[in-house]
Amino acid sequence: MIKAEKLIKSYGTGELELVVLKGLDFEIKTGEFAAIIGPSGSGKSTLLYQLSLLDEPTSGEVILGGVRTGRLSMQEKTDIRLGKLGYVFQDYALLPELTALENVALPIIMQGHTMQESYAKASLALERIGMVDKKHNLPSQLSGGQQQRVSIARAIAHEPQILFADEPTANLDSVNGMRVMEAFRDLHEKSDQTIIMVTHEPEYAAFAERVITLVDGVIVSDERKSVVK
Ligand code: ADP
Ligand code: MG
């Protein structure tokens, strides 16, 4: 469903050119939970930006659900991003004065859905991520792991085809990190959500069913493995 074709990304030009992604070819199928791991600076975030249409590759292409995205206009890409993709970042970026439910509902409201519809979708997303009992809490009344789970609910509330996460556990202790990983795993198992997650922690990558290892902008291994139960 999402395919990288001869994907190259470099920054700068001439002598200062830094080639970060050195011609990547792979495909992630619908319903897969894939982790991208590798040392710091190996190009993981850069790869995620290309796959999720937040950035444009220097050459090569991302093909999303059969659509060759290199030919799309900015507006068409924005429409795909808002409608079909979901993002979870390191810093949960929740608005402190809004409840969990309001934080999850806000992007849906902004996309033009009615309040009633938006709150219903938000509530369902919080339920899917095991946070519905905290829906009236403010972020300050939640642990870091719970806040991150609210941000996952926000990322899936519009039912994206692909959920992207860049180091979602970076700011969490190991207990909270595990909770967040369990939430991703449950989401994947219960609803076949396609998930592409970047991490540099092998114990978190073990929650995924497929692990792609990036070193210096090259895929050095791509393995399907048994999932932690
Ligand atoms: P990772 O997420 O694996 O830690 P990144 O994708 O963030 O790695 O970065 C890979 C390399 O690209 C690093 O050397 C980084 O300094 C460089 N890089 C990332 N973004 C930019 C940018 N906007 N301009 C120049 N260099 C960048
Ligand atoms: Mg990174």
* pLDDT band of 225, cuts 50, 70, 90: confident
Centre of ligand 1 to C-alpha 20, Å, is 7
* pLDDT band of 200, cuts 50, 70, 90: confident
pLDDT at 229 exceeding the cut of 80: no
Index of the ligand 1 atom closest to the CA of residue 12: 25
Return the pLDDT at 65. 94
pLDDT tens column, 35-82: 999 999 999 999 999 999 999 999 999 999 999 999 999 999 999 999
Residue nearest to atom 7 of ligand 1 (CA): 45
Q: Which residues surround ligand 2, an ion (CB under 5 A)?
A: 44-45
Asked if residue 143 lies in contact with residue 169, where contact means CB atoms within 8 angstroms, the answer is: no
Return the pLDDT at 227. 52
Cα 48 from Cα 195, distance rounded (Å): 12
Centre of ligand 1 to C-alpha 178, Å, is 27
Cα 214 from Cα 211, distance rounded (Å): 10
Index of the ligand 1 atom closest to the CA of residue 167: 2
pTM over 0.85: yes
Listed in order, strand segments (DSSP E) in the chain are 2-11, 18-28, 33-37, 59-64, 67-68, 85-88, 162-166, 194-198, 210-215, 218-224
Domains of the chain and CATH, by start: 29-57+73-224 (3.40.50.300)
Q: Say yes or no: CB of residue 9 within 6 Å of ligand 1.
A: no
